Structure 1
Amino acid sequence: MRLSRSGFRPGPALRTGLVLFLLHLGVAPCFSLSLEEMEVIAPRGTERGLLAPQGFVYDTYRGLFIVANTEAHRVDLLSREGDSFKIMGRAGNLRRPRTVAAGKDSTLFVAMQDSEIIKVLSQYDSGVGEEFHDLNLSAYRQRAAVQAIALDVDREGNLYVVDRGNRQVLVLDRQQRFRFALADIGDPSDVAVGANTIYVADPGFGGIRVYDGQGRRLRTLGADPGRFPTPLRAKALAVDRRERLWVLEEANLGLKVFDTFGNLLLDYPFSQGGRLAFLSAVDLTLDADRFLYVLEQGTGLIRVFRINEF
């Protein structure tokens, strides 16, 4: 059936239904993707601006950016427009935060450089004081101290911790109790979790390791020499509402998007017309309204792209 012959364009609900139907059949739906740069957000009201931030996430449920403002020793909450909503860490309790994650229940997790402690805050968007409690990861040491360099939270509230020191990803339940670990990863840099898939970036060995929701290894994406002349070296990952994997490559090389079967949907190089589209891109995040956000470490700016689908 060719819906386009009559000029009919399926709406979001129908398109989502088609995606779910095709996934049920084991067929990859083919929608063309493109990115359109819309604006640049310069955060306002953050006291000293964003100083070498290392990570951020957009909380779609609350319409807030959560930024690990590393060299300012703060975590900044920003509105979608970039206005300061709340600043955490003034009491000196956040020492060089490097990555953040938030659950649907408004629980915030903050990992700090050179620390085995993850700071946990319930109802982080409220106006009350910062009553963090400590999640100590020292019990999970294998060869070295735990180095939590990336976090993610799934829909059930499980916490995923990338531990570069021991080349593993720790998976904890919503009460922060141990569930399982993904071990023997070369040089993990990030983790992103979909409905029943766990993606772990492994730039040290090359490619992205793919696991099911129980931690069983499925495959490695981006390491096949027949498809990738050089192994994919991912710096940051994100999964969108259609279970597509968004990959920020190391060394400002670009951005790639894959479907659930590992098919490449979009290859967006950062060198556009002889100039770099980004300066020291360090992290990416998505919202539910088809927007992509890229954080630049060097400038402290957030670049906004509309995701167009055809």
Structure 2
Amino acid sequence: MLIKPIVKAFFDKETNTFSYVVTDPNSHQSAIIDSVLNYDAASATTHTTSADEMIDYIQQNSLSINWILETHVHADHLTASQYLKQKVGGVVAMSEKIAVVQETFSAIYNLEPKYFNATSSFDYLFKDGEHFKIGEINAYNIPTPGHTPACLSYVIGDAVFVGDTLFMPDYGTARCDFPKGSAATLFDSVQKLFALDGDMRVFLCHDYLPEDRDHFVYESSIAEQKKHNIHINESIKKEDFVQMRNQRDATLAMPKLILPAIQINMQAGQFPEPEENGIRYLKIPFNFFKPSI
């Protein structure tokens, strides 16, 4: 019998990000997915308001954290995985393809490749399609690259957490213009999701309000996505999707927090080591990413 996990969503309005605590109702064993560390870009300072809301929920419900999962290396927010691990425990994990992201951005930031040593950053790296458990709930990952080469979707009971692969049907799909992104690859990845049962609950990492909707939504279903996603549904051909996605991506501005976020997130949320004066520093590749618009 398929166990239906309890899914509690948390919304960070500053980054339009949904994070989740996913719980086995029988054992109270849980996983955290796509957490947010609040970041003020003007002062380059962090705070933990969003993560603390999760901690309060975890403690009030006497939950035990097994996993702290990342669907991908986020470009729009910083992960709170290290802070959460310190406060509530859990194994910080994502795809083993993180090595591709680390290699690519180490070159862009002119960092030594060993600076982003995956074995010392993440506690666990999933192989494609690997199975795991949250309490008594069977779970596994589906590799869904395209937005980034290290994207995973997590199937947990009757729910799938798709990261940035899909948005709500009235908003479409993720951009594919980051280094090593690919619209053709994203199309193929979505077909893997569309092969899941139509009743499978789909939980999204972001929602951006379209003009005709006045409230944020974080859940749809595979059947809804297949029928109604405005970018990729069962009637859309691959070549048409790729053309649409590439044209659309050429008009998009860079995410506001991509430069600090990538550095932190591909190191599993760990901050750079302090320098001689005790201050930590981020690097900014000056005039490397030209604005699209």
TM-score by length of 1: 0.29
Question: TM-score, with normalisation over the residues of structure 2?
Answer: 0.30
Structure having the higher Rg: 1
More helix by share: 2
